[in-house]
Structures are given as structure tokens and as C-alpha cells.
């Protein structure tokens, strides 16, 4: 069953612009995680935000969590061509981690 769903499915921006991706989920969670995947590679963990946290920063990444709306957003500031990848949210659902279908981000130089 699909727990996290990302929006938009695809996003194209110019270098230097900000990129915002959203994730919505259905049931209550303990934590929400964001991962990045370059084409044909494994996933890389970006950030984990717990249900009692509202915002978290890591370098150029900013993640927010709104448990009342069951949604999270990932903001990448001052994007670079190297940020081109797919980004997935994952929510823990008691006995598993459920991944969304991802947002494909293309950053043009």
C-alpha cells in the first residue's frame, strides 16, 4: 500500500533556483526520511525528521513536517546541476519503511 506520495512527479529548474518537493502520507508516523537516488544507483539518506519535530536543516536542505496535514516538504536551496536525481520520501509504518514513487529533479546549468 502506498503511504508516501511525492509531488510533483518531475521538476525542472535552472541552477541557482530553489527546488521544493512535497510528500503526503496517510497514517501516523514515528519519523519521515528523505533519500536521493542518482540514476541506476543506490539510495543515499539525506535527512530524518521525527514526528515531534517541525523543521530540520542540513546544508542546503530544509525539511518541514506538518503532522496535522500529514505532509512534509524538502527544499533544496541554490540548486546545482549535481542535484539532478530522484528524491524519495519514506515513512515508517510500525513494521516497515514505505517509500513513495519519487520526484525526478532536473537542474539545468
Partner 1 sequence: DGGITQSPKYLFRKEGQNVTLSCEQNLNHDAMYWYRQDPGQGLRLIYYSQIVNDFQKGDIAEGYSVSREKKESFPLTVTSAQKNPTAFYLCASSIIIFDEQFFGPGTRLTVL
Contact residues: partner 1, CB under 8 A: 4, 31, 33, 35, 40-45, 48, 88, 90, 92, 95-102
Q: Which helix (H) or strand (E) holds 106?
A: strand 103-108
Residue number, 28 or 101, with CB nearest to partner 1? 101
Closest approach, Cβ 91 to partner 1, in A, equals 10
Residue number, 48 or 75, with CB nearest to partner 1? 48
CB 3 within 8 A of CB 92: no
Closest approach, Cβ 76 to partner 1, in A, equals 19
Residue with cell 518537493: 21
**Cα–Cα dist 67/80, whole Å:** 30
C-alpha cell at 30: 514515528
Closest approach, Cβ 109 to partner 1, in A, equals 25
Amino acid at each position: 500500500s502506498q503511504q508516501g506520495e511525492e509531488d510533483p512527479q518531475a521538476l525542472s529548474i535552472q541552477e541557482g533556483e530553489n527546488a521544493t518537493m512535497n510528500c503526503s502520507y496517510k497514517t501516523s508516523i514515528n519519523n519521515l526520511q528523505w533519500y536521493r537516488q542518482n540514476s541506476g544507483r543506490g539510495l543515499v539518506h539525506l535527512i530524518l525528521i521525527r514526528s515531534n519535530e517541525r523543521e530540520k536543516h542540513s546544508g542546503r536542505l530544509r525539511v518541514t513536517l506538518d503532522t496535522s496535514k500529514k505532509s512534509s516538504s524538502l527544499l533544496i536551496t541554490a540548486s546545482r546541476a549535481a542535484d539532478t536525481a530522484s528524491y524519495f520520501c519514506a515513512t515508517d509504518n510500525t513494521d516497515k519503511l514505505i517509500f513513495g514513487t519519487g520526484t525526478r529533479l532536473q537542474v539545468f546549468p
